[in-house]
Structure 1
Amino acid sequence: MNVISDIGEFLSGGKLEAQTGPLPYGAPLGEPRSEIATLAVQERALSFTGEDFDVWSVDENAPYCTVRGAMLHLPGKDKMRIKDKDSRVMATLDRKLVALTPTYDIQRGDGGEKIGCLEKATIALTDTFDFHAANSGGFGPFKPPPAYKLEGDFLDRRFIMKNDKGQVVAKISQDKLIEFDQFNHYQIRIAPGMDPVLVIACACAIDEEFDELHKKRREEQNR
């Protein structure tokens, strides 16, 4: 037992739990790993289309995917697409303009099958986002409990993602516990067996919701 490692896991939200069995929404959007995966996410400083991110695999020291957005706040135009290193669209996030809280439909490929939606919880003690699988049934207040829940400090990019059993499946952190010199970034650590593309989709959607606050903080730091 590594006491220091255990303390570190506890302070960062708990230990990542390997996922076995089928995912709540069927086939994964991206290939899950058999061990913990670490990704570095950089938001592009210059973007003409909205939210743009480059994602790097720390484990393989190679590009993993890109996220390209077009957040124009027009019907059907608020979308982000996650593309693999060969420019194949793995998933699309489509922001609903008419919703009680920020909500994103997540689809396979370029606007294909909807696997679920990410929405900001209306009733929670702290800021929380819920992912509901499309095949779980129910609607509105009659939806079943979320398949995944994201909670923590979203402004500081320090939050965790849990499944419906309370197991931690991903951690997002600005702490840079694992050094990576390619670029300034925040990190995502993903449990074995968990869909990395769904985690990236949720993290980038949340980043979009806090974009203005992130910009304001950067401006204050640069003064």
Structure 2
Amino acid sequence: MFTDIGNMLGGGKLTPQDELVHGEPLGPINDSDEVLTLAIQERAISFTGEDFDVYDLRADQPFCHVKGAMLHLPGKDKMRVFMENGDKVAVLDRKLIAMTPTYDIHRGNGEKMGWIEKEVVALTDTFDVYTEPAGGFGMFKPPPAYRIEGDFVDRQFVMKNSKGEAVAKVTKDSWIQFDAFNHYQLQIAPGMDTTLVVACACAIDEEFDEEHKKKKEE
């Protein structure tokens, strides 16, 4: 009963995915039959202010690390995702000229996979994820592959695919707590690209970090 209530309040039950709309995954997919729960912790001491450690709570071990750029200069404002073995699997590159906050998403080899951007007009704060395989150019964007909606300041939001299926959730509080460190949880559906979800969560985190800090102070 409590699981059903939690799913209802959190945007619905996560739906296993049979295929990825962006082709090859950025990094590992959730290849189990169960929801993968990760914890994202922003480092208290960071030279970039954009460094995160990501833990696999099921395996009780580190999953990957997100490192920001040392210098916030044109062409240098990036976040890089590294697996625990040191392999670079994704790069988030913030676009300097854009109507709304936008990050290009690249694979570890530099190939652009797509981008995440905040919607210009929406009833609530919304981020859309687009993929390069979908085509489109300039102002003629393809339909978003994923849409992310919710309360970004309090880290309560859901990522859905174009069918409206929930594929990932971010939550600060849940029925099960892991209080070893200050963090928020990321739940990922079976078959989903875990690195893409982590990259999107970290990009959104940066956009709402200042607003989040102000709310906590109040």
Smaller-chain TM-score bracket: over 0.9
- Cα distance in 2 for residues equivalent to 1:58 and 1:180: 8
Paired residue for 2:202? Answer: 204
2:18 to 15, 20, 30: 20
Contact kept in structure 2, 1:172 and 1:188, CA below 8 Å = yes
User: How far is the alpha carbon of 1:217 from its aligned partner?
Assistant: 3.0
User: How far is the alpha carbon of 1:25 from its aligned partner?
Assistant: 1.1
Paired residue for 1:77? Answer: 76
Paired residue for 2:159? Answer: 161
Contact kept in structure 1, 2:14 and 2:165, CA below 8 Å = yes
Contact kept in structure 2, 1:153 and 1:159, CA below 8 Å = yes
Contact kept in structure 1, 2:47 and 2:70, CA below 8 Å = no
Paired residue for 1:151? Answer: 149
- Cα distance in 1 for residues equivalent to 2:84 and 2:175: 26
Paired residue for 1:184? Answer: 182
Residue identity in the other structure for 1:179: Q
- Cα distance in 2 for residues equivalent to 1:11 and 1:199: 20
Residue identity in the other structure for 2:4: D
2:93 is the alignment partner of 1:94: yes
Contact kept in structure 1, 2:126 and 2:147, CA below 8 Å = yes
Q: CA RMSD in A?
A: 1.4
Paired residue for 1:118? Answer: 116
User: How far is the alpha carbon of 1:212 from its aligned partner?
Assistant: 1.2
Residue identity in the other structure for 1:202: C
Paired residue for 1:30? Answer: 27
Residues 29-80 of structure 1: CA deviation (Å, up to 9, x unaligned) = 1221222100011111111113111100001000001111127442110000
Structure 2 unaligned residues grouped into runs of 5+: none
User: How far is the alpha carbon of 1:95 from its aligned partner?
Assistant: 0.3
Moved more, 43-52 or 153-162: 43-52
Equivalent position SS for 1:59: coil
- Cα distance in 2 for residues equivalent to 1:52 and 1:73: 14
Paired residue for 1:216? Answer: 214
1:4 to 2, 5, 8: 2
Residue identity in the other structure for 1:79: K
Structure number with greater CO (CA < 8 Å, separation at least 6) is: 2
Residue identity in the other structure for 2:151: D
Moved over 6 A (4+): none
Change (3 A) 1:71 1:130: farther
- Cα distance in 1 for residues equivalent to 2:135 and 2:45: 40
Contact kept in structure 2, 1:94 and 1:104, CA below 8 Å = yes
Contact kept in structure 2, 1:50 and 1:72, CA below 8 Å = no
User: How far is the alpha carbon of 1:88 from its aligned partner?
Assistant: 1.2
Residue identity in the other structure for 1:189: Q
Equivalent position SS for 1:142: coil
Contact kept in structure 1, 2:6 and 2:175, CA below 8 Å = no
User: How far is the alpha carbon of 1:186 from its aligned partner?
Assistant: 0.3
Paired residue for 2:45? Answer: 46
Alignment TM-score, normalising by the size of structure 2: 0.94
Aligned length: 216
Equivalent position SS for 1:209: helix
